[in-house]
Structure 1
Amino acid sequence: MAQDSQYTEDNIRSLDWKEHIRLRPGMYIGKLGDGSSADDGIYILLKEVIDNCIDEFVMGAGKTIEISIKDKVVKVRDYGRGIPLGKVVDVVSKMNTGGKYDSRAFKKSVGLNGVGTKAVNALSSFFEVQSSRDNQIKTAQFSSGNLESEVGPEETSKRKGTKVTFIPDETIFKNYKYRNEYVERMLKNYVYLNPGLTIVFNGEKFHSENGLKDLLEDNNNVEDMLYPVIHLKGEDIEVAITHSKTQYSEEYHSFVNGQHTTHGGTHQAAFREAIVKTIRDFYGKSYDASDIRKSIISAISIKVMEPVFESQTKTKLGSTDMGGDFPTVRTYINDFVGKYLDNYLHKNAETAEKLQRKIMMAEKERKELSGIRKLARDRAKKASLHNKKLRDCRVHLSDMKNDRRLESALFITEGDSASGSITKSRDVNTQAVFSLKGKPLNSYGMSKKIVYENEEFNLLQAALNIEESIEDLRYNNIIIATDADVDGMHIRLLLITFFLQFFPELIKENHLYILQTPLFRVRNKKETIYCYSDEERQNAINKLSGKPEITRFKGLGEISPDEFRHFIGDDIRLEPIMLDKAMSIEELLSFYMGKNTPDRQKFIINNLKVEVDLIEDKVV
């Protein structure tokens, strides 16, 4: 019989703050990631530092924030009041230390938990904080949260404020890189929410005068809007509303105290409810809520005293109270929208007329679809019992309490061999596979009816769980995994067309990616290197010297499951699909998928990248 293991005081170990953050980073910054997704940890680190600068701006100290990211070194400088010099080290290295526990100073602040910069410090291989105030400056340097040096206070002529420099730790964030598109989107949100603030990022200025109105107009082509943006502002609330001519589903951008609540919460639910109630009352008709909200594009920002969020990364508001003398969040939003949206519609008859026509069209379409929807749902239910197309995973985006929910992914593959390789090598907890049987239908110019009539699209929609709203999306990452040949490219284009036509907000919200797979394998007896470009292949040949064996992969099916594991695991390379706001979705689809063949041919010829035939290099 095995000896009883002793359970004594020696078994109980108390981690200090740094160790805890480094051992369980997900508790503090969500997922780690490599920078290919907007919610990856490296962006949360940046955000935590900027949040402190924003709080200074809100308090009336410092109108400019300067940010630079170069060779993985991140620098953030504000011109606020500067951290009190005697507390510079404590503020970035002692838990529950900060200036935001005094509600008088920071009544409607974001970073209320005193964890933000400590997490950045602990997860950075290099972290430096420099504070200047009262003509004096103090600098402290850390490595992995450990204090390395402390200089000052000493005399300075530098303007007051705080400068933070950090390098995310590469032992924690593997193969990461900051994508400017994601950083810029984050910075734009900051300036929309803080009119008058200027952020300079790598020399480029971001500034907004019209707040949430600018947000909607900058993220959408104005020609896609049914009517000009309705922009309403109150003391602790701001909303912007329009409807799209092209997209089917609802789109909300919601914020609390400057925090982008990407998963909504009590304020977003109240906003949706308030819009429906106000519009029903205005027209005196009990329109269906889904018809009123269909195609809506909107934004809401509220300020709440001491907000309660449902997770450390603050993506969903849990508070029901506004704080102070205000009523509940729900009552406050209902009262504001009820009064000011109603006033706007009374004063703007043309907008009111267009909106009512849109609601009536949505109602007509919903009734036409109801019969076919039921048939399609029944079909999908039967298929899902023995759905050979979907091999599901265990963790989904809707599992709010699971740390790995943001890693959930659906690979859309073509053919049995590629599906087989991915299925055998995937992580069954977070990676699901959906198999296409050949080329999907070109859905350009078709109505939503086709999604229900086409079995493949209907099953894909059911697998993603996006029929009613993308709020119910089951996977954070939708990854198109096709061969890098002409057929594979065509399938990619057809799938992107499907998402653009019916679910463009999946692309706007950065859920859609292309899987990058290696083109070559270069190896000798000691080492194997996978190469994603000809340049990488050349570097690998030089590195391995002699005459290494070179294999050219022509399709995903040629890559064995054992090898595939490398390409969809920690080292996965994803290319995000992004929308060009300068072109309306209608124009985009019509150019790539419409009947303008000569224009398209000319475009392809002018932009063609010729792939050199590598036979001459004795590719095996």
Structure 2
Amino acid sequence: MSKETKYTEDNIRSLDWKEHIRMRPGMYIGKLGDGSSPDDGIYILLKEVLDNSIDEYVMGAGKTIEISIQGDKVIVRDYGRGIPLGKVVDVVSKMNTGGKYDSRAFKKSVGLNGVGTKAVNALSTYFRVESTRDGKSASAEFEKGNLTNQDTLDETSRRRGTKVSFVPDDSIFKHYKYRTEYVSKMLKNYVYLNPGLTIIFNGEKFISENGLKDLLSDNINQEDRLYDIVHLKGDDIEVAITHSKTQYSEEYHSFVNGQHTTQGGTHQAAFREAVVKTVREFYGKNYEASDIRKSIVAAISIKVMEPVFESQTKTKLGSTEMGDGLPTVRTYINDFVKNKLDNFLHKNQATAESLQRKILQAERERKDLSGIRKLARERAKKASLHNKKLRDCRVHLSDSKKERNLESTLFITEGDSASGSITKSRDVNTQAVFSLRGKPLNSYNMSKKIVYENEEFNLLQAALNIEESLEDLRYNNIVIATDADVDGMHIRLLLITFFLQFFPEVIKEGHLYILQTPLFRVRNKKETIYCYSEQERRDAINKLSGKPEITRFKGLGEISPDEFKHFIGDDMRLDPVMLDKEKSIEELLSFYMGKNTPQRQEFIIDNLKVELDAIEEEL
């Protein structure tokens, strides 16, 4: 029988605000990450500071926000009212202190509970806040939440507003790097939602005149739109809708009080329902909901009084009430869409006809697929009971109540040895493995029918749960883990083609990655260094001096499970798969996967780089 552990007053410990944030950062900013994912903590830190500047603009103070990111230092400067000078320290270092509790001042605010800047402060090795108002200024500097310096100026010629500078703590955010693509996307969303606001990021200016219409314009090319974007606005709601000519699934961009709710919520569900109801009533036909919403690309933004989100990172709305004497979220959105969209379709016959043709086409395709889809679902259901391809994890993205759901990851691997190494070394709570039998089919120019006919594609679709939309996506990170050789590269290309052809929103929303695995292991008796490039190998040899042992990894199967856990743990390196905004998906697929072999050959020759010095070293 085990000895009972004593439980006395000495076991009870109260953490102060900064200790608690640093001990449980995930509670405040979601997952940590290194910047390879758009929802990694370093972007949440920026967002938390930026939200306060956005709220100033919403309240009519300051039309420009300046952001600078140079290396690891972030600076955000607004020209709002400035923090009251006597409260500069309290606002960024005392819990339950802030202006967001007074709903009169911040009626429909983004930063609701005043926790954001405190979290940034506690998780930064350097944090400085400076406020200027009425010709005076006050500033305070912190290190990991501890006040290190404080200053006040009775006279200053600086313009009013607030300037926040911070450097994320690299002991918490390991090997982090800000990716300008993710920052730019975040900033574009802010200006779409706040027409008239100017954000300047490292010298580049972001501004929007047409709100959500501009968002859709930037996300779907003119030639890919079935009809011109339908743009509808109300007091607390804005909607933009079109349908894609080529995309199969649904794509939504949803926002609450300026916050991008990447996991949807009550407002997105109500909007999907409202579109179906309105379209059915307009045409007087009881069309299938999936036929109406197939290929839809839409954006919705609402403003809610004191919204309830399902986490501090505010990625999913839980509120059912609009507040301010308005009806429920569901009723409000239903009434708005029914009125405005119905009016628009009556006034724009060409759009109404295009939409109806699209619905009828979707209906025909669904009926053509019905038999094979039923068989495929039965196969997937049976396979899920004893599916050797999928070794699942315990936590999924759709588990909104679980704290680690943003860490949920599916590794897509090729071959038994690679799958075995990852399976044995993975975190069974958040990491799942899907094994490919060999090279997947080239799905370019094929219809959705192939997804159901091809067993691997069908099982992959079922594992991800993305047949209709991304709303119930089971994994936040979908990671292609193949060997870094020609065959591995080819498999990557074929998988990316599959997603581009049938589920491009997986890539658009930043869920698809390539796993980087080390090319070399350099070690002596005291230390082991894993190297991901020739340069890292040289640096490791110089660091260890003497004649260290050098191992060249040729495939994932060569790496033992004990070693592999380093590469898919805290030090995991991921390369995000991103879309080139200048090219349409059709252009990308036709160039890389089509029958234009001579042009591709020319492209490869022009872009091939050979590291002659590295080859000489090998020889």
Common fold: TM-score over 0.5: yes
Match for residue 461 of structure 2?
Answer: 461
The alpha-carbon deviation at position 618 of structure 1 amounts to 4.9
Q: Relative to 1, partners in 2 of residues 1:2 and 1:603: Cα closer, same or farther, differing over 3 Å?
A: closer
**1:139-179, CA deviations, whole angstroms, 9 ceiling, x for partnerless residues?**
10111111111111431110000000111111111111111
The root-mean-square deviation of aligned C-alpha atoms, in Å, is: 1.4
The alpha-carbon deviation at position 544 of structure 1 amounts to 1.6
Match for residue 388 of structure 2?
Answer: 388
What is the 5 A alignment of 1:60-209?
Answer: 60-209=60-209
Aligned residues of 2:35 and 2:176 also touching (Cα < 8 A):
yes
**1:441-484, CA deviations, whole angstroms, 9 ceiling, x for partnerless residues?**
11111111111111111111111121232211111111111111
The alpha-carbon deviation at position 313 of structure 1 amounts to 1.1
Matched, 1:326 2:317: no
Aligned residues of 2:481 and 2:515 also touching (Cα < 8 A):
yes
**1:571-611, CA deviations, whole angstroms, 9 ceiling, x for partnerless residues?**
11000000112211111111111111122211121122336
The alpha-carbon deviation at position 613 of structure 1 amounts to 9.0
Aligned residues of 2:232 and 2:240 also touching (Cα < 8 A):
yes
Match for residue 408 of structure 1?
Answer: 408
What is the 5 A alignment of 1:128-527?
Answer: 128-527=128-527
Aligned counterparts of 1:76 and 1:515: Cα–Cα separation in 2: 32
Write the letter of the residue equivalent to 1:372: I
Aligned residues of 1:31 and 1:403 also touching (Cα < 8 A):
no
Aligned counterparts of 2:470 and 2:209: Cα–Cα separation in 1: 30
Write the letter of the residue equivalent to 2:199: I
What is the aligned length?
A: 619
The alpha-carbon deviation at position 501 of structure 1 amounts to 0.6
Aligned counterparts of 1:577 and 1:6: Cα–Cα separation in 2: 52
Segment drifting more, 97-106 vs 205-214? 97-106
Aligned residues of 2:534 and 2:614 also touching (Cα < 8 A):
no
Structure 2: runs of 5+ lacking an equivalent: none
Aligned counterparts of 1:151 and 1:222: Cα–Cα separation in 2: 53
Aligned residues of 1:220 and 1:581 also touching (Cα < 8 A):
no
**1:48-67, CA deviations, whole angstroms, 9 ceiling, x for partnerless residues?**
00000001001111010011
Aligned counterparts of 1:230 and 1:462: Cα–Cα separation in 2: 32
Aligned counterparts of 1:335 and 1:558: Cα–Cα separation in 2: 60
The alpha-carbon deviation at position 133 of structure 1 amounts to 0.6
Write the letter of the residue equivalent to 1:247: Q
Aligned counterparts of 2:612 and 2:425: Cα–Cα separation in 1: 31
1:208 match: secondary structure? coil
Aligned residues of 1:307 and 1:317 also touching (Cα < 8 A):
yes
Aligned counterparts of 1:482 and 1:325: Cα–Cα separation in 2: 55
TM-score, normalised via structure 2 length: 0.98
Aligned counterparts of 1:378 and 1:33: Cα–Cα separation in 2: 37
Write the letter of the residue equivalent to 1:328: T
The alpha-carbon deviation at position 103 of structure 1 amounts to 1.3
Aligned counterparts of 1:436 and 1:37: Cα–Cα separation in 2: 24
Aligned counterparts of 2:4 and 2:492: Cα–Cα separation in 1: 59
1:590 match: secondary structure? helix
Aligned counterparts of 1:494 and 1:611: Cα–Cα separation in 2: 27
Write the letter of the residue equivalent to 1:493: L
Percent identity for Structure 1 against Structure 2: 83
The alpha-carbon deviation at position 119 of structure 1 amounts to 0.8
The alpha-carbon deviation at position 614 of structure 1 amounts to 5.4
Aligned counterparts of 1:600 and 1:252: Cα–Cα separation in 2: 34
Aligned counterparts of 1:384 and 1:280: Cα–Cα separation in 2: 36
2:88 match: secondary structure? helix
1:155 match: secondary structure? coil
Write the letter of the residue equivalent to 2:584: S
Write the letter of the residue equivalent to 1:357: R
Aligned counterparts of 1:76 and 1:610: Cα–Cα separation in 2: 41
2:111 match: secondary structure? coil
